[in-house]
Amino acid sequence: MPRYTETYDLSEEKERLDSELDELADRTSEIEQQMDDLDDDEELTQGQLHEYRESVQEGNRLEQMYAGVQWALDPDGDREPIKEVTLGSLTAGEYAEVGDRLQAVKQGKVGWGRNPDLDNARRNMFAGACLQDAPFLDEEDPDLEAKIHAVTDLAPAFIHWLEERGDELTTPQVEGNGFRKRVEERRTTSTPKSPT
């Protein structure tokens, strides 16, 4: 039983992601303009480079989620559109079960090399575990195995969206600044060293 659930209207999600992508594109283009305006002997600051890399990375992540939601609303073939899904935050026990199942899969892939990459299997398992209700679930109260099986028939970009939103629900929202923001605050408030 999840700690709490949230139902997502995918049309609203599409609008939200579209808006976030527009804002991020504006900021990224500003940084690129600053790069274009630099003289030959000038370089971006470390902070500007970091911000640029982060915004491009975030843009790619959001674009993949946006593509997943678009697919869900207008899927290929004769599949019915997915207009709404309900996801739940995982409990510690559910989270452990996903980890244990992934470890069992990893044990079965020993011949794949020294350390097989199971990111996609993890994404499927986590997305399935967070899933509470969706039109593509055949049963009314499916077990974890049935939910994992159901998500494997969906587009990878939509699984990415399910996993990201499920992770947001599962991660507790706490007051305070993230670590990166704390570091930035200290850099801007510390006094610069004077030349000797």
Q: How many domains does one find in the chain?
A: 1
Query: Which residues lie closer than 8 Å to 144 by C-beta, 6 or more apart?
Result: 94, 97, 98, 101, 128, 129
Position 191 pLDDT exceeds 70: no
Express each pLDDT in 56-100 by its tens digit.
Answer: 999 999 999 999 999 999 998 889 999 999 999 999 998 898 888
Is 142 a member of any domain? yes
Is 196 a member of any domain? no
39-43, 72-76, 142-146, 161-165: least confident range: 39-43
Cβ count near 138 (within 10 Å):
8
Express each pLDDT in 9-56 by its tens digit.
Answer: 999 999 999 999 999 999 999 888 887 887 777 777 777 788 889 999
| Mean predicted lDDT score pLDDT of the chain | 85
Task: Print the domain residue range for 164.
Answer: 5-171
Position 162 pLDDT exceeds 80: yes
Whether 169 contacts 130, CB under 8 Å: yes
